[in-house]
Amino acid sequence: MNPGDRVRVDRADQTYEGVLLPSSDAEQLVVKLDGGYNVGVTREDADVDVLESGVYDIEGDEPDEGESSTIEFDEDLPTISLISTGGTIASTVDYRTGAVTAQFDAEDVLRAVPDLAGRANYRGRVVANILSENMDPGIWQELAHAVHEEIENGADGVVVMHGTDTMQYSASALAFMLDTPVPVVFTGSQRSADRPSSDNVMNAVCAVEAAKSDCAEVLLCMHASESDDDCALHRGTRVRKNHTSRRDAFETVGAAPLGVVDYDAAADEDPDAVTFRREHQARDGVDLDIEPALASDVELVKFTPGMDPAFLEYCEGKDGLVVEGTGLGHVHTDLIPTLASHVDDGTTVVMTSQCLEGRVCDRVYDTGRDLLDAGVVEGEDILPGTAKVKLMWVLANRDDPAAAMGADLAGEIQERSVPWE
């Protein structure tokens, strides 16, 4: 008896006939009835007869290889590289776990999103096939190399398809590692691609349009609202996933998003579909370069009332430590000596704020002044997650990490705090 067999299952006075499916749980058999419904039958009470073996190909939805790669090159269109790292945008159902997992490469995405056709010539590439919570700095480096190589080989823009959980970290990493003369646009989806309501189609279309635009920065392109009307273009270093499930989960912190893609206009291939609100790095403004080195021994620690001091003590000997403090950038006064001793040991300690909005200022209260005396670096208005990525990069690439943390390297620091709506 194997998944895919046509079976009859007798249990007490009840008979179910259908196709046996893989079950995620050893206690039950899962049978797909002829009407299409799956039902679970407790295994120990069940009597199974195989009526016919292998009538149903469980992995059966794989399209024919033949029909896929007949994509024609059009000289009038820009070339966009689609780089897949996995995630919801490229996911389908995994029968084994019953959960959603990544199984598509970039060409599958083209097949899954036919709306992308005719907008660009595409080059597909798979760097990873993971859910983004499993992302790590090693893959950021591979991804940076892949993007670098694609641009070197003539890509006019790069779209990175990425799980949404840690997209902001990867985008920040690439923003620090790369000098790019073309747009590098991260996108993903909050609703899996296996449902008709998935946001993957609109996000992918808008990301490709953004990748064709004049903004040579690392951007993140996701829904601007719960409607399928606009995608927001966020700077990779200023963006944060602020909702667990909504389509418009991503928000630029401390400013309106850098740009907007109008989906209706993009669908009609209107050249004005992509607009920007503020100054940005222009296409071909810099030469392509990559500095991929990272210090891996860096932690981000959030201070909360009642925190066990041992958590901070544990960070002894780290290359870098980002603290997510309270308010203007504080921790409990009793913890300051520990931080002072880490600094003396050679650890770069950077203060950020769990307020997220606003700038760290450790000159207002005694606690702050004590932290400055202890050698803690003010992290300006850098987002805590971005600060961690930046510190990893700065420690490996800059001689004076403390000074570099206070300077704007990739749009992560806003020099002026300007009220916005």
**Chain residues in the site for other proteins (CB under 8 A):** 11-14, 16, 25, 28, 30, 33-42, 45, 61, 63, 93, 98-100, 111-115, 190-191, 194-198, 201-202, 225-229, 244-247
Q: How far is the CB of 198 from other proteins (least distance, A)?
A: 7
Contacts of 420 (CB under 8 A, 6+ apart): 254, 255, 256
- The whole-angstrom separation of Cα 317 and Cα 229 is 50
Query: Is residue 139 a contact partner of residue 128, using CB atoms and an 8 Å limit?
Result: yes
Nearer to other proteins, 150 or 262 (CB): 262
Tell me if residue 235 falls in helix, strand or coil: strand
Query: Is residue 290 a contact partner of residue 184, using CB atoms and an 8 Å limit?
Result: no
Nearer to other proteins, 79 or 88 (CB): 88
**Secondary element (H or E) of residue 119:** none
How far, in Å, are 42, 128, 238, 244, 302 from residue 385 at the CA level?
A: 47, 22, 10, 17, 11
Q: How far is the CB of 21 from other proteins (least distance, A)?
A: 9
Which candidate in 212, 241, 318, 390 is catalytic?
241
Nearer to other proteins, 161 or 377 (CB): 161
**Secondary element (H or E) of residue 365:** none
Which candidate in 85, 88, 338, 347 is catalytic?
88
- 241 tagged catalytic: yes
Q: How far is the CB of 90 from other proteins (least distance, A)?
A: 12
Phi, psi angle pair for 108, to nearest 5°: -65, -35
Nearer to other proteins, 93 or 307 (CB): 93
Q: How far is the CB of 272 from other proteins (least distance, A)?
A: 21
Which candidate in 165, 179, 297, 319 is catalytic?
165
Nearer to other proteins, 97 or 308 (CB): 97
- 164 tagged catalytic: yes
- 228 tagged catalytic: no
Q: How far is the CB of 113 from other proteins (least distance, A)?
A: 8
Q: Angle at Cα 243 formed by Cα 239 and Cα 249, nearest 5°?
A: 55
Nearer to other proteins, 41 or 161 (CB): 41
- 318 tagged catalytic: no
**Which among 199, 219, 205 is positioned nearest to 266, based on CA atoms?**
205
- The whole-angstrom separation of Cα 299 and Cα 272 is 43
- The whole-angstrom separation of Cα 320 and Cα 398 is 13
- The whole-angstrom separation of Cα 187 and Cα 208 is 9
- Give me 314's structure tokens: 């544990």
Q: How far is the CB of 69 from other proteins (least distance, A)?
A: 16
Catalytically annotated residues: 88, 164-165, 241
